[in-house]
Amino acid sequence: MAHISELNLPHLYSGKVRDLYEVDDELMLMVASDRLSAFDVVMNEPIPDKGRVLTGLTDYWVHEFSDVPSALVSCDPRVIDHTVVGFYDRPDLHGRTMLVRRAEMLNLECIVRGRLAGQAYDEYVAEGTVHHMPAPAGMRLTDPFPEPIFTPSTKAESGHDLNIDLATAAEIVGPERLDEAKALCLDLFRRAAEKLHRVGLVLADTKFELGFVDGRLAICDEVLTPDSSRIWPANDVRPGETPPAFDKQPFRDWLSTQDWDRTPPPPPVPDEIVAETSTRYVAAYERVTGRSLFEWYGFSQ
């Protein structure tokens, strides 16, 4: 993140989208950039407002799940400024920065699927399984599973995460932690799906990042954002067809039409695709929360 060093914070990590900085032994700053990754490759062109959408939606869902432990302390620039002196004088960071507590991260990507789509659909067509586990016969693209299913994957430091079955996941984190993570994620998915249904949206799948804070399993990183979820307009979901989406799947679809082998460097992204993607991210925030993105931190300064 440009000029974050002016806050005199040690840089800990840069991911595909987020940058992490140390505040002290207990707290960190997590800054969501406008970078866009697809097929685990970061594009060269930023998507305007994307970082604020990811942060605003995460804040929204953490408050919706207020009964569930979370690593999030605050996204409010004034609150952050009490801990990170000078932060309020950095409006470029407002609205896309979370003050978070350190967590012992669970070494799994915790994915819940309510509908058949994405990599799960590709595997199902080829093998009749989902994450190497049996799935009902005769399913079509976008069809709902009888019940939402927990389908973990590995956490790759670089390259692609690998879809795994529950037995393999248990070997990685232990059966007790896996059972706790599965129960929590399925509960959060059902609650989110019900809330989205009330505003005419379908939650097809989402990925949760979990960790332990003070010994309790907690929500960490982004929560139910367009980067981590497939969200469809309910009226446009038809079996066997790819629906329009309030997520980055339309961008992936465009990228799939390019002459590219899904390894760096990525192809250039035209201005109109950048603009369409930005509009879709903003629409996701506003449709889910019922608020204008311009009411979120970072636009009034």
Residue 220 φ then ψ, to 5°: -130, 160
Q: Is 191 helix (H, G, I), strand (E, B) or coil?
A: helix
Q: Identify the helix (H) or strand (E) that includes residue 50.
A: helix 50-64
The Cα 277–Cα 288 span in angstroms is 17
Give this prediction's pTM.
Answer: 0.94
Phi, psi dihedrals of residue 29, rounded to the nearest 5°: -105, 130
pLDDT in tens, 57-101: 999 999 999 999 999 999 999 999 999 999 999 999 999 999 999
Helix or strand holding residue 144 (H, E)? strand 144-150
> For the chain, what is the mean pLDDT?
94
Q: What is the DSSP string of 73-91?
A: EE--HHHHHHHSTTGGG-G
Helix then strand count (H, E) for the chain reads: 7, 15
Residue with tokens 């994405």: 118
Residue 6 has pLDDT above 80, yes or no: no
DSSP code of residue 266: P
pLDDT tens-digit map of 192-230: 999 999 999 999 999 999 999 999 999 999 999 999 999
Domain positions in the chain are 106-247
User: What is the CATH number that goes with domain 106-247?
Assistant: 3.30.470.20
pLDDT recorded at residue 139: 98
Cα 153 from Cα 178, distance rounded (Å): 12
Q: How confident is the model at residue 1 (pLDDT cuts 50, 70, 90)?
A: very low
Helix axes 249-256, 271-289, angle to 10 degrees: 160
Taking alpha carbons only, the member of 300, 284, 290, 282 closest to residue 50 is 282
Say which residue the tokens 């950048």 belong to. Answer: 274
Place of tokens 């399913």: 139
- 185 and 95 Cβ atoms separated by less than 8 Å: no
Q: Which residues contact 268 (CB under 8 A, 6 or more apart)?
A: 44, 45
